[in-house]
Amino acid sequence: KIKYGQPLSDLVPDDSYVRAYDQQQTATYTQQVGEPVGLYFRGMDFADEAVQFKMLRAMDMVLQNEFINASTSAFQTNWYIQFNQWAAGQSATVAMPTNNCYNPYVGKITGQLAGVITPFVITGCVPKAQFYTLLNAYLLNTSSNQVVFTSPTAPRSIVSCSVSMMQTASYGNDKYPTDLMNSIGGLQTAVNDDLFSGEGSAYGDYTFFMYGSNYLSNEGQQILPDQALNYFMFALLGVGVVCLFMLVNPGAAILMMCAVGLVILFLFCELWVLKIRFNDVSIINMIMATGLSIDYNIYFAQKFMTLHADGTGNGRMRQALTDTGYAVFLGGLTALLGTVPMAFAKSSIIRTFFSLIFGTILFSLLVGLVLMPVIFSLLPMPPVRSVLIAAATDMEGPPEQLDHPGQAKSGNDSDIEGAASSEPLSARL
């Protein structure tokens, strides 16, 4: 139900011309046509007929992937197929060996585009002995930015090369980037393992790889859910450990973990209700929420656990809220007012900060001042002595007297204090 991703249009102000341009680009090419992607090969002897065959086979495997549009890819630049076609035309001087090389586009162009372009039928690979002689002659009249050489002039060899293809259109599917990267990742592994593992390339598992302009953001989006889950789990664990030391009660520490978890859950609900995307911006706010939410819950919990009051859960709850509730509420109210100016910003990123920070504070106040006090009062949680309370008790008396500083002490206590004060200081020390 929650949308994923970070549209590029959200990175600019509302009145920027880039926003309309990006929306039009996304509505046409990304959602209807698809975006270009490059296939990269490196670290091999590209003159070897076996390597040429493996390159063609790798292209075939890519064209069969569900996220690659074979029909529109046929219109993209492919230096090797064009070079092979040119070399085959030099039949008077070149004997093209028949060694299983083929054009991977044959039979894969469908629809109306099938009548527009006819793939060249490859009858063999370029012979190794003549490969660079023919390639240098071919490049005299044809420029290509898909081939990287060891030097600008002959004699030279290919360091790496690439060919272009087209991805399928996303059609507005928010999960398309994640599904795309999962599929491409498996495809790259299969190509390297099945075809190039024995070539001795120094690049190992990255002898062949694919890259598109949208891969950087897509890979970040791909790992974001798992990274967010890991963070929330570790954050809750950290909250539990710290609260256990502060509250000296496992049950109270668990309740604080639940309070933080509820605030995070409410924020996810807010993402869905307000149609805020789950992306880097929103996750930053939710990470901040783990610290803000415990801040509005721990004051009541700590006070409750050190109070005796009338000995009942309701009495301790009322006393704890009397001592801390007003201050916590005012602190939350001023923080809410401080976020309001962000609501009028022209940047959608800043407005996202406003929505989630405002929601974090509001949900934390509701959980910390409404829900948690009721739960604490219903559960059997006897008062405990923290380090500070224990030190104060040793000086002034039992914990129930600490709740009422103005209460008169018993006569015995007065006699003891009087006797103690009548002793010389050196004797008392």
What are the tens digits of pLDDT across the range 367-424?
A: 999 999 999 999 888 887 654 444 444 444 444 444 444 444 444 444 434 444 444 4
Which residues contact residue 290 at a Cβ distance below 8 angstroms, ignoring those fewer than 6 apart?
232, 235, 236, 239, 260, 264
State the residue for tokens 């100016």: 341
- Residue 339 predicted with pLDDT over 60: yes
What are the tens digits of pLDDT across the range 289-333?
A: 988 999 999 999 999 998 887 878 899 999 999 999 999 999 999
> Quick one: average pLDDT of 232-257?
92
> Quick one: average pLDDT of 198-218?
86
User: What's the residue count for the chain?
Assistant: 429
Structure tokens at 116: 């527009």
What are the tens digits of pLDDT across the range 90-113?
A: 876 777 777 788 999 998 888 878
pLDDT band per the 50, 70, 90 thresholds, residue 335: very high
> Quick one: average pLDDT of 24-33?
68
Q: What is the pTM of this model?
A: 0.71
Pairing of strands 158-166, 208-212: unpaired
Query: What's residue 213's pLDDT?
Result: 84
**What's the rounded Cα separation, in Å, for the pair 410 and 408?**
7
CB 12 within 8 A of CB 19: yes
Query: What's residue 47's pLDDT?
Result: 93
**What's the rounded Cα separation, in Å, for the pair 105 and 71?**
8
pLDDT band per the 50, 70, 90 thresholds, residue 153: confident
DSSP annotation of 193 reads I
Tell me the β-bridge partners of 209: 40
- Residue 337 predicted with pLDDT over 90: yes
Q: What is the DSSP string of 257-307?
A: HHHHHHHHHHHHHHHHHHT--BSHHHHHHHHHHHHHHHHHHHHHHHHHHH-
pLDDT band per the 50, 70, 90 thresholds, residue 58: very high
Q: How many CB atoms lie within 10 A of CB 410?
A: 11
Structure tokens at 13: 């102000």
DSSP annotation of 368 reads I
Q: Output the average pLDDT for the chain.
A: 84
The phi, psi pair for 162, rounded to 5°, reads -150, 160
**What's the rounded Cα separation, in Å, for the pair 243 and 50?**
65
Query: What's residue 280's pLDDT?
Result: 86
